[in-house]
Amino acid sequence: MSNSDDTVETAYGRLDRAALLQAQQTYDTTSLLRMVDGLDAMLGEAQGEDGLRDMLLRLHGMAHTVINGAGMTVATGEESLPELAFDTLSEVLRIVTMLQGWLRQIEPLEQLAPRN
């Protein structure tokens, strides 16, 4: 590694020395592997039966019928359009919350960029 006062040259680029020291003392790199596992689980759930993909397709079918006058493609009597919209929003918000947590875990690595 090549050093200057405020930066350190590494195999993966020049990094801010203070941020690197902080990361070396506090950053848990296994959190990135947990994100990979979380992503795999989220994608599996989203693509599974009654997952987000199915919810969006049902929601489209219902909306297409009532808004555009298209023929019915979704069975009636199980859930209303507003109920399905609420459930879909809830699932999307759950995923967004998970992704926001990932942002907080990745940001310290971005902070390794030199300040100059």
* Tens place of pLDDT per residue across the chain (116 aa): 455 689 999 999 999 999 999 999 999 999 999 999 999 999 999 999 999 999 999 999 999 999 999 999 999 988 999 999 999 999 999 999 999 999 999 999 999 999 86
Do residues 52 and 67 make contact, with C-beta atoms less than 8 angstroms apart?
Answer: no
> What pLDDT does residue 3 have?
57
At residue 10, what are phi and psi to the nearest 5 degrees? -125, 175
Written as six digits, the tokens of 97 are 């919350």
C-alpha 65, offset from chain centre = 31
pLDDT, residue 1, reads 47
Task: Kindly report the backbone phi and psi dihedral angles of residue 15, in degrees, each rounded to the nearest multiple of 5, phi listed first.
Answer: -125, 155
Helix axes 81-110, 52-68, angle to 10 degrees: 130
pTM: 0.86
Q: What are phi and psi of 110, to 5 degrees?
A: -65, -30
| 3-state percent breakdown (helix, strand, coil) of the chain, nearest 5 | 65, 10, 25
- Domain ranges (residues) in the chain: 30-108
Structure tokens at 93: 């918000």
- DSSP letter for 72, please: P
Which helix (H) or strand (E) segment is 15 a member of?
strand 13-16
